[in-house]
Amino acid sequence: MKSSRKVLVLLHARPASKKSLALGPFKDAMETGIDNLRVDISTLEDLLFEVNTGKSPLVIDNISGNNICDYDLVFFRTTRNNRTQVSLCVQALKAADKPYIDSMYRSGFYSKLSGDGLRAEANIPVIPSFHTSNRLLLELANADKLPYSYPFILKDIVGRKGKNNHLITDIDQLKRVLELDPTITYVVQPFIENDGDYRVLVLGGRAVLVIHRRAVSGSHLNNVSAGGEATLIELDKLPSEVIQMAEKSAVQSNIEVAGVDILMNKSTREYYVLEVNSSPQLLSGSFVDTKMQAFNKYIGELLDK
């Protein structure tokens, strides 16, 4: 007798009615039509995602408790606009050599989190990340089961310029932030003590300048757009491996004009890539003339080829 085979069917969200065809009837129709088949139905909202350097994403179905890579097949039945979540699932499944349908789904740089997933797998150092729906995030916090202790960073997975980026110190603050705008999807990261971050301007895969940005007193945000102070520094003030980290991140992202943000842990002196920006504020922020001079030189070199 053949061993039981397992299929995971993923919906974008829980149906409003338990009588929906997406639930019991669909599961029953599959299990009665295929021998030795067990079907689990879950949603992208019920998945737990973890991203860590040197690994493919870990994706756990909170309903069954299973790793999605433990299934023989994953069927993305409905996805809506959840490209980040689908990207992380696809990345994990491909790394485990597990089939999924539809094959049109791809991993990609759709958000800070999906980008971190791809950088982590390429062994580019990133800050550990955890993501799930706001509903589950609050449930885990109430049960004291979040992967990181307070204080931690809670930020919009598609946020820009430091917007919707919070330093969470307790569960009451977490509840208040989640209630402000339920439509925002967040990623959770441990808070890294730092003396600022570095914006590396990478043009055509080559680092051309570095701006050190430091938060003003009372803020955890180093972004100049959020009030941070900026200083232009020489490239050789950063270790060569950090410059290479920035260049590798830009090339991997297929971004020729990139602002790569890098953070150093104040205690361990380890460096992490925070994100790769395709709009690195050439005409705004600090040192506009210097940035435009470097950009114009790069464009001129392209035109002269």
Handedness of CA 100, 102, 103, 108 (dihedral sign): negative
Token code pair at residue 254: 């297929």
Cβ within 8 Å of residue 10, ≥6 positions away: 41, 42, 43, 44, 47, 74, 75, 76, 77, 78, 79, 89
Question: DSSP string covering 30-56, please?
Answer: HHHHSTTEEEEEEEGGGEEEEE-TTSP
* Rounded Cα distance, 271 and 274, in Å: 9
pLDDT tens digits along 98-154 = 999 999 999 999 999 999 999 999 999 999 999 999 999 999 999 999 999 999 999
* Rounded Cα distance, 281 and 303, in Å: 22
CATH number at 5-121: 3.40.50.20
DSSP state, 57?
P
Write the burial class of residue 251 (CB in 10 Å: 0-12 exposed, 13-18 middle, 19+ buried).
middle
pLDDT at 224 over 80: no
In CATH, the architecture of 197-304 is 2-Layer Sandwich (3.30)
**Residues across the chain:** 305
Spell out the domain ranges in the chain. Answer: 5-121, 133-190, 197-304
Question: With bands split at pLDDT 50, 70 and 90, how would you rate the model's confidence at 273?
Answer: very high
Query: For residue 131, what pLDDT is reported?
Result: 98
Fold of 133-190: Dna Ligase; domain 1 (3.30.1490)
Q: What is this structure's pTM?
A: 0.92
Write the burial class of residue 218 (CB in 10 Å: 0-12 exposed, 13-18 middle, 19+ buried).
exposed
Token code pair at residue 41: 């139905």
